[in-house]
Amino acid sequence: MIRLKILFLFICCTLLPQLLHSQQTVLVSPNKKISVALYNTNQNQLTGDWYLAISYTDSSRSTVVIPRIDLGLVTKTQDFSKRLTYIKHGKTLPVNESYTMLHGKRSACSNSGNEQVIFLKNNNNVRLNIIVRAYNDGVVFRYELPEKKGQAIVEDELTAYTIPADNKRWLEKWNPANEGLYTTMDNKSMQQGEWCYPALFSAANKSCWFLLHEADLNRNYCGSKLSNAAEPSKYKITFPNPADARGTGNSQPTVTLPFRSPWRAVIIGSLKDIVASTLIDDVSAPSTLKNTDWIKPGLVSWNYWSNNHGTKDYKTVIKFADLAAEMGWPYTLLDWEWDAMANGGNLEDATRYILSKGVKPLIWYNSGGNHTWVPATPKDRMLTHQNRVEEFTKLKKMGVAGVKIDFFESEKQDMIQYYIDILEDAAQYEMMVYFHGSLVPRGWSRTYPHFMTSEAVRGAEWYNNVPDFTMAAPEHNTILPFTRNVIGPMDYTPVTFTNSQYPHVTSYGHELALSVVFESGLQHMADRPEGYLDLPAAARRFLMEVPVAWDETRLIDGYPGKEIIIARRKGEKWYIGGISSEQKEKSKTLKLDFLKDNITYKLTLIADGEHDKDFKTTYTVVDKSSTLNVKLLRRGGFVACITPVE
C-alpha cells in the first residue's frame, strides 16, 4: 500500500505539471466577447506544433472565428517552424493608452486590450516569443526573437489562417500597386492565388465578420500578403515576389536582433465594429513628431483626371488654383509634367500664383530608381537623403505644403525602408506626404501623422484607363468602406460629375456621397472646375464645407457590394453619406438615434432627384427620436448635414 502511495505521488509530481502546461492558454478581451487560445497538435505534450484559435461571443451565440492560425518562423540559422517546446506564458497584463489622431475616422483613440506573452524554444534552445493581445474589436499577435544582438535572415514566416470553407469572403488579387477589384467568393466559387490586404470574411452563421491585415510595419521587416495557392482553405503570410520592382531588392528580410515582427491583425465583430475600428492605428508605434501644427488635412483640386497632361499647361494649373480658391479648398496639386510646364508660365510662376490666391501647392514626384519602369521625370529627387534634403529645402522656400510620390512597385524590405526614409526626411522640412502606386496603410498615420494618405486602391483614375471600370465602380465603391478604407486613409480621388475618358453610371447623388463615404487626410476632388461650379447651390456649398478629418465614424447600414450608409461627426455636426450599387430604385428609413439627447438639429438632405444628374434638396428639423426617409435611384446616393440649432 505504501509503495502504491509513493508511486501515485511520483506520478502527480512528475506528470501533473506537464498536463497543466499542455492545456490551452486563453486570453480574453476586456469586454469578454473575443478570446484567443493556444493549442498544440501533439496533445498532452510540451513539445509540438503550436497554433492559435479565435472565438467570438455575442449576446446569443459563440462562434469559432478562425479555428487555426499556424505559427512559426524560419531563419537562415534557426528553425522555429516545428517541434517547438512550450516554456511558459506570462501574466495577462492590461494595455491602456490614449492618443489623438490628426486625421482619420476618429480623433480621440484608445489602445486598450489585454496582453500575454507565450515563451517557446526550438531544439537548439533558442527562444521564440509570441506576443498576443485581445481587444474588444479584434486580436493581434507578433513574433519576438529576444536575442540581444546580431542579425538574422528570415527565410519564411509560417503564419497561416485556416478559414472555414463555408465563410463568405471578399478578396483582391495581389498586384504591386494594390489597385485591383475585390472578388466575392463562397465555398462554391473559391479561388486560389495571392491576395492583397485587407481581406474580409463573414462567418457562415452570420454572427460576426473579420478582416485580416498587418500593422506597425517598420524598416526591420518587409510587407506581406496572403496566399492560399497551396491549400484553398489556408491563407498563409507570404513575402514579396522576387520579380516585384523589376527584380530589385531582396524578398526575404534581414532583421536586427532583438526583433519584433509586424502585428498580425484580425479585426472582429459586426460590420459596424469593422467599419469603426481603429485597431491598425491603435497597435502601431506612437507619433515620432513633437510639433504637428503644420499638418493640415484638407480638400485638394486635381487636374489629372480631367486632363492627363494638365500640369504641363500653365493655364490649366491656374484654372484649378482658382477652383480651389473659389471652393475654399486649401490645396491644389501640381501633378506629373510640372517640370515641362509651359503656355504662359513655369513652376515658379505657378506656385506664386497659387499662393497669391490663398491656396497652397502640393507637388508630384516619381519615386525613381531601377525599381520602376515609369520614365516620367523628375525621377531622382527622392532617391537619396541628400537629394531629398535639397529638394525639400527648395520646396519649403517655394511654399509647397506636401509631396505626392508615385510608383513604388513592391513591398520588399528595402522599399519599406525607402518609404520611412522619405517620411522621416519630409518631417524635418514640415512637408506632408502621400504615396501612390504604393502599399496599403499599416498604421503609419499614427507613427508619422504627416503621412496623409495613400492610393493603393482602384479609384476614379481608372475611368481614364479601362472601359471596364464604368460598370464595376458602383459595386466596388460599396465594398471599399468595409475593406480597404477600414485600415487607413484612401486616396480614391472621388466626387466626379462630368466624364473622363470612360463614362459614369453612378448618379450625381452617389458621387456627392463619396466625399463622406471615403476617408482620406488629403481628399482630392478630381473633377474639372465646371463639374463643381455648375452644381446647384446646396451641393456646391456642401463640397465647400465637408471635412476630411473626423471625430467619430459610425456605420448606419450596409452590406459589401450592395450599399453603405455611414455617419461621420466633426465637432457637433454630423455628416451622412449613403450609396447603392443596385440596379433598382430603393427607399431607406434611417434612425437618427446617434444624436445627442435633448438637442434640436437642422438637417439638410441632398438626395437623388428625378434622374441621375438631378438633386432634390430638403430641409427639416430633427432630434434623436427622428427618422429620415431617403429615396435612392439605381446606383444612387445621398448626403445629409445635421447641425445643432443654436
For residue 608, the domain's CATH number is 2.60.40.1180
pLDDT in tens, 530-555: 999 999 999 999 999 999 999 999 99
Residues 61 and 123 in one domain: yes
Asked if residues 154 and 175 have their Cβ atoms less than 8 Å apart, the reply is: no
Asked if residues 623 and 589 have their Cβ atoms less than 8 Å apart, the reply is: no
Residues 340 and 423 in one domain: yes
For residue 205, pLDDT over 90 is answered with no
Residue 527 lies in a domain: no
Residue 290 lies in a domain: no
Domain carrying residue 426:
298-456
Residue 524 lies in a domain: no
Residue 529 lies in a domain: no
Residue 490 lies in a domain: no
For residue 422, the domain's CATH number is 3.20.20.70
Residue 4 lies in a domain: no
For residue 44, pLDDT over 90 is answered with no
As a whole number of angstroms, the distance between CA 27 and CA 131 comes to: 11
What is the model's pLDDT at position 12? 37
For residue 16, pLDDT over 50 is answered with no
Residues 84 and 139 in one domain: yes
Residue 367 lies in a domain: yes
Which one of 282, 312, 336 terminates a domain? 282
* Mean pLDDT score, 106-125: 98
Residues 471 and 448 in one domain: no
What is the model's pLDDT at position 508? 98
What is the model's pLDDT at position 72? 98
Spatial CB neighbours of 322, under 8 Å, sequence gap ≥ 6: 357, 529
Rounded mean pLDDT of the chain? 95
pLDDT in tens, 341-352: 999 999 999 999
Residues 265 and 345 in one domain: no
Which one of 251, 282, 313 terminates a domain? 282
Residues 477 and 446 in one domain: no
Residues 156 and 197 in one domain: yes
For residue 42, the domain's CATH number is 2.70.98.10
Strands 182-185 and 209-215 turn out to be unpaired
DSSP helix/strand/coil, 43: coil
Other beta carbons within 10 angstroms of residue 626's beta carbon come to 17
- Greater confidence (16 vs 307) lies with 307
Residues 72 and 193 in one domain: yes
pLDDT in tens, 555-603: 999 999 999 999 999 999 999 999 999 999 999 999 999 999 999 999 9
Query: How many structural domains does the chain have?
Result: 3
Residues 257 and 311 in one domain: no
Residues 590 and 477 in one domain: yes
Residue 504 lies in a domain: yes
What is the model's pLDDT at position 22? 45
- Residue 187: which pLDDT band, with cuts at 50, 70 and 90? confident
Residues 182 and 58 in one domain: yes
As a whole number of angstroms, the distance between CA 128 and CA 147 comes to: 9
pLDDT in tens, 69-91: 999 999 999 999 999 999 999 99
Which one of 282, 306, 335 terminates a domain? 282
Residues 308 and 413 in one domain: yes
As a whole number of angstroms, the distance between CA 298 and CA 111 comes to: 26
CA dihedral of residues 315, 321, 324, 330 (deg, nearest 10): 160
At 115, list the grid cell: 496582453
For residue 295, pLDDT over 50 is answered with yes
> Which residue type sits at 553?
T
